[in-house]
């Protein structure tokens, strides 16, 4: 059995489509109480643990950094220590926001981290705590998550594209959209292989290919969905937000492929599947 933290998030929902998964929601394991999270692991039989729960309100984190850090930093650290005590692998999902978004090269797992805001700092705190726990763990950084569930860019564009004839969308933030299903499948593959070979522990990257701007991502959403609003490219400076977003969210996924055999997925294929799922909802 794989124990998963998170029940309603995009990746947690995708993970629950697999039969050998038990998901813990807030009622079973409140991430604001790290000790409860650790106890949840120690009191249940499992062969691996995946943390798919997080504080993800990027802008709100600027005013709630202590809360974000408890959920994204302290709780994963407690989980990792419990996994180390229990002797089972721990897979933790992190983010491109741990980088400062400079340059144009894809970020390697070993590149220097320098978060721009509170959300990124809270996720980095989780990475540090997980690595310090001393057990068998893998940290999977990913970016631009989308699915047929929860709130995400794809669903927002579908709503706005149906309401408006013209949309202004940021052109100077570049990254790899990544489906929740691809993230879930990758987490399960990593967990299974860590059980067999703990030496594969480490930090890895997963993002969809090819890298695009938010504006070009929106264009593909509209192309596949049949919506026809005009997309106007704008710089980030014309779309101010409380938290600064990294301009360069490109992630180098080579080590993930080399170590676990997981190829970088084509997000356009995943988008087609998500749009099909949404038609059935």
Antiparallel, parallel or unpaired: β 145-146 and 212-213: unpaired
Q: Note the pLDDT of residue 22.
A: 96
Boundaries of domain holding 77: 2-151+178-207+250-265
Which tokens go with 29? 């394991």
Q: Determine the Cα–Cα distance for residues 78 and 93; give it in Å rounded to an integer.
A: 15
pTM of this prediction? 0.97
Asked if omega into 40 is within 30° of 0 (cis), the reply is no
The pLDDT of residue 199 is 98
- Alpha-helical segments (H) within 24-166: 34-42, 65-69, 75-86, 118-132, 153-163
Nearest alpha carbon to residue 125 among 190, 178, 191, 80? 80
Closest Cα to residue 126, out of 29, 53, 189, 200? Answer: 53
pLDDT by residue, tens only, the chain of 281 residues: 999 999 999 999 999 999 899 999 999 999 999 999 999 999 999 999 999 999 999 999 999 999 999 999 999 999 999 999 999 999 999 999 999 999 999 999 999 999 999 999 999 999 999 999 999 999 999 999 999 999 999 999 999 999 999 999 999 999 999 999 999 999 999 999 999 999 999 999 999 999 999 999 999 999 999 999 999 999 999 988 999 999 999 999 999 999 999 999 999 999 999 999 998 76
Q: What is the pLDDT of residue 281?
A: 64
CB 200 within 8 A of CB 191: no
CB atoms within 10 A of CB 10: 23
- How many residues appear in the chain? 281
Active site residue 97: no
Q: What is the pLDDT of residue 19?
A: 84
Query: By the 8 A CB rule, do 250 and 104 touch?
Result: yes
239 located within any domain: no
Q: How many domains would you assign to the chain?
A: 1
Of 55, 97, 119, 204, the catalytic one is 119
Name the H helices within 87-213: 118-132, 153-163, 180-196
Task: Report the CATH number that the domain containing residue 34 is assigned in CATH.
Answer: 3.40.50.720
């Amino acid at each position: 059995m794989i124990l998963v933290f998170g029940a309603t998030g995009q990746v947690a929902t995708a993970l629950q489509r697999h039969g050998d998964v038990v998901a813990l929601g807030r009622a079973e394991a409140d991430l604001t109480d790290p000790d409860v999270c650790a106890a949840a692991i120690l009191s249940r039989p499992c062969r691996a643990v995946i943390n798919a729960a997080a504080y993800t309100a990027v802008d709100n984190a600027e005013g709630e950094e202590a809360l974000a850090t408890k959920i994204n930093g302290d709780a994963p650290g407690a989980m990792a220590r419990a996994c180390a005590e229990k002797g089972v692998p721990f897979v933790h999902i992190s983010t491109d926001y741990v980088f400062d978004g400079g340059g144009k090269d894809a970020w390697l797992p070993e590149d220097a981290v320098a978060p721009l805001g509170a959300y990124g700092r809270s996720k980095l705190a989780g990475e540090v705590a997980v690595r310090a726990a001393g057990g068998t763990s893998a940290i999977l950084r990913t970016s631009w998550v989308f699915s047929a569930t929860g709130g995400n860019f794809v669903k927002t564009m579908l709503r706005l594209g149906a309401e408006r004839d013209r949309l202004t969308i940021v052109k100077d933030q570049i990254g790899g959209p990544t489906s929740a299903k691809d993230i879930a499948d990758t987490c399960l593959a990593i967990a299974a292989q860590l059980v067999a070979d703990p030496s594969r522990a480490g930090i890895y990257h997963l993002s969809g290919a090819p890298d695009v701007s938010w504006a070009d991502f929106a264009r593909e959403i509209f192309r596949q969905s049949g919506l026809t609003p005009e997309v106007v490219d704008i710089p980030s400076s014309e779309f101010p937000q409380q938290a600064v977003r990294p301009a360069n969210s490109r992630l180098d996924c080579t080590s993930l492929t080399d170590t676990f055999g997981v190829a970088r997925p084509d997000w356009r294929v995943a988008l087609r599947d998500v749009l099909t799922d949404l038609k059935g909802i």
